A and B are shown apart, each in its own frame.
Chain A
Amino acid sequence: MSKQTSTDDLFGQARATEPYFKDQGFVSRVNAKLPMVRKVSAAQESAISVVAAILGCTVAYQFVSINELIALIPNKVTLTPISLLASSGLISGLAYWLAEHKRSY
């Protein structure tokens, strides 16, 4: 018998004799920690957001002149070293969080 075979054999023996772990409260502990189920589905939530946004825009359009809104848009942006540092830090933090969040699934 080769050494490599005997390493595999040990795993074979472990597989054949793998113990069965009884529940012993494990399932109820998991159940107790499960998050509450959302009563509104993700699709419904998106639909509500879209409808609310359309309503908000309609109301804003009625009460605020479009020219005033356009005038609020900045036409010049000055980047100072501090703001550049802050924005790059924010983007890096966001990218890290997204990567970590994606990885956990």
Chain B
Amino acid sequence: MVATDQALIERVAAQGCRDSFSTLVERHQSDLRYSLRQMTGWDEALADDLAQETFIKAFQAIASYKSNAKFSSWLYRIAYNQMVSHYRLARNREISGIDETVAKVAERKLGGDYAEHELHQDLARAMQQLPTQQRMVIHLYLHRQLTHQEICTIMQIPLGTVKTCINRGRATLRELLSSWQNEDLA
């Protein structure tokens, strides 16, 4: 029988069972790494580093996990805080990870075949132009399809802020992804 996330978490919290934690990491690593690629403009190395740090923080704080939330939601919360800390440090060191301008993203030409991987990367690069908070809200809402309330809980921000982020994020992305949309509509 496959152990549930909750059963594995209880084992990790009570006995510090590393095997149970490995199972949790194995189960959630792909989703988290994908989300972090979307959050970091598809910077694979940075996304994997942040994912790794997220899991380590989760292991350290597993006793504080509350079972009324999904484990994945809790992971997103830690990942978001990791990402915010990373960008704050990067800003302080004046090493911005943003290397692609709005114009460059908009200029991207579409291939004749609708390359699926290209779509993921272009979405990530367009999202990179949004502020960190807006980016996370948009990803959780439009990609992960979480509810407004779930996003409020994960990011610990008011409902009004979530709605504003969604509206503004959509408007910006509409401009940035116009080439994809025009192709899509044609």
CA distance A30 to B30 in the complex (A): 13
Chain B: how many interface residues by the 8 Å CB criterion?
Answer: 42
- The reply on A7 being an interface residue by CB < 8 A is yes
A51 to chain B, nearest CB (A): 23
- Give 14 CB contacts A-B under 8 Å: A9-B184, A10-B181, A21-B34, A26-B48, A26-B51, A30-B22, A30-B55, A31-B21, A31-B25, A34-B18, A34-B59, A37-B16, A37-B18, A103-B81
**How many A-B residue pairs lie within 8 Å, measured between CB atoms?**
97
Contact B123 A11 (CB under 8 A): yes
A105 in contact with B57 given A4-B174, A21-B29, A27-B29 (CB within 8 Å): yes
CA distance A4 to B85 in the complex (A): 32
- The reply on A45 being an interface residue by CB < 8 A is no
Contact A35 B59 (CB under 8 A): yes
For the complex of A and B, 9 pairs with smallest distance between CB atoms: A37-B16, A11-B142, A6-B181, A17-B116, A21-B30, A105-B61, A30-B55, A21-B33, A27-B25
- The reply on A56 being an interface residue by CB < 8 A is no
- The reply on B159 being an interface residue by CB < 8 A is no
CA distance A39 to B135 in the complex (A): 41
Annotate A1-21 by CB proximity to B: 1 below 8 A, 0 otherwise: 101101111110111011111
- The reply on A68 being an interface residue by CB < 8 A is no
Contact B29 A26 (CB under 8 A): yes
CA distance A18 to B120 in the complex (A): 8
CA distance A1 to B56 in the complex (A): 44
Contact A13 B61 (CB under 8 A): no
A-side residues, CB < 8 A to B, are 1, 3-4, 6-11, 13-15, 17-23, 26-27, 29-31, 33-35, 37-38, 42, 100, 103-105
Contact B52 A11 (CB under 8 A): no
- The reply on B67 being an interface residue by CB < 8 A is no
CA distance A15 to B34 in the complex (A): 11
A30 in contact with B52 given A17-B116, A103-B81 (CB within 8 Å): yes
Q: Which residue of B lies closest to A38 (CB)?
A: B16
A44 to chain B, nearest CB (A): 13
Checking A6, A37, A104 against B85 with a beta-carbon cut-off of 8 angstroms, the contacting residue is A104
A17 to chain B, nearest CB (A): 4
